[in-house]
Amino acid sequence: MVEKRKFTRVGIKSVAEMIFPNDEFEQAYVGGISRGGLEMYTQIEMIPGQTHTVRLHFLFQGEERTETVEGKIKWSASFKNAFISGMEFTKELNAADHTHLLRFIGQAEAFYK
């Protein structure tokens, strides 16, 4: 099988909010993340092609951190009584906006090498 991902996906324990254009949000759980995107579990189906802002709440070095990413839904599938979706970031993660997230990913990637 050929690996399509440009970046290594690492596990993350994150509660997130998918923010919609009308400022409503849907809670999501993020199970995997890379420098290029993430996978999430939601109660509603995410529509491929749509772009969303996601506010991630995650633990890093024993403290809760919150950072925001933007991405486009690449795929979505039914999973038990919920949905799992893949999102590709539309803006590259950067040190100014994603300080803790980049450090988290960098440390986790070291375990996969």
Domains, the chain, with CATH or none: 10-94 (2.40.10.220)
pLDDT tens digits along 48-71: 999 999 999 999 999 999 999 999
Quickly state the pLDDT bin for 17 (edges 50, 70, 90): very high
**Model pLDDT, residue 113:** 65
**Model pLDDT, residue 107:** 93
The pTM score is 0.89
Q: Residues 60-69: contacts with CB within 8 Å, 24+ apart?
A: 60/100, 60/101, 60/103, 60/104, 65/100, 65/101, 65/104, 67/97, 67/98, 67/99, 67/100, 67/101, 68/97, 69/38, 69/93, 69/98, 69/101
